Amino acid sequence: MEIRLSPRASIFWDNSGAPFVHFYGLDRSGGWGGILRLPNWKAVAREILPHLPEVDDVDDALAQLEELRAVFIEIGDILLALAQQRSSLLYEICGMGNASVDSVRAIWLAHRHQTTTQAAKREITKRRRYQFNRERDVLMLRLIESGVPYVCAIDGCPVSEDLTIDHVLALSRGGADELENLRFLCQPHNSEKGDRDA
């Protein structure tokens, strides 16, 4: 797979999955990925560049490396994060063949937004479930007192023991603990419904 950093450089991945940078007209051997991450990368590059036949001007080559270093590290970090998360997006990006830095950034930002949104929803739902569980007995009494029969609300189900309270509009989708949104369900029907709305 190749991601173009600029018209003169790309990131490639070898068979082990390690990224490296290929600078067209500067370095045909690759291997700059590890060097660019070193704190003393400039000193190491100054030692290597004079020995490359493609390099006419070491300072110009060093300037090219410096210009692309931040982008390489950014893209490398994005792909490493996706690999650590075992995200299928990594395969999507790798399947793109030649990709631009902007396309990888856009995919990463969309993934981060989706991930943080899902995490926020899980946390809010967890708090709502805790709140609901604390009030469950009171809500059961309110349902019974309002005239709701203590029998599973699914047509034809005769179960009238060990009922659960079900949110018609699922709690995880913002369903309120108001009587109009609550009903009794037997355990099997509540499990079958899961997180869906009725």
> What is the model's pLDDT at position 128?
93
- pLDDT of 11-66, one tens digit each? 655 555 555 555 444 444 445 666 777 788 888 888 888 877 777 888 888 887 78
> What is the model's pLDDT at position 116?
93
Between residues 122 and 31, the one the model is more confident about: 122
Q: What is the pLDDT confidence band of residue 6, given thresholds at 50, 70 and 90?
A: low
> What is the model's pLDDT at position 33?
61
> What is the model's pLDDT at position 136?
93
- pLDDT of 152-193, one tens digit each? 999 999 999 999 999 999 988 899 999 999 999 999 999 998
Q: What is the pLDDT confidence band of residue 90, given thresholds at 50, 70 and 90?
A: confident
The least confident of 26-30, 121-125, 144-148 is 26-30
Give, for 47, the enclosing helix (H) or strand (E). Answer: helix 41-48
> What is the model's pLDDT at position 31?
55
* Mean pLDDT, residues 117-124: 94
Alpha-carbon span 128 to 125, nearest angstrom: 5
To the nearest 10°, report the CA torsion of 33, 17, 26, 93: -100
DSSP 34: H
**pLDDT at residue 117 is higher than 90:** yes
Strands, E, within the chain: which ranges? 2-6, 9-13, 19-23, 98-100, 164-167, 182-185
**Among 88, 42, 82, residue whose Cα is nearest residue 66:** 42
Asked whether 100 and 3 are in contact (CB, 8 A), the reply is yes
> What is the model's pLDDT at position 26?
42
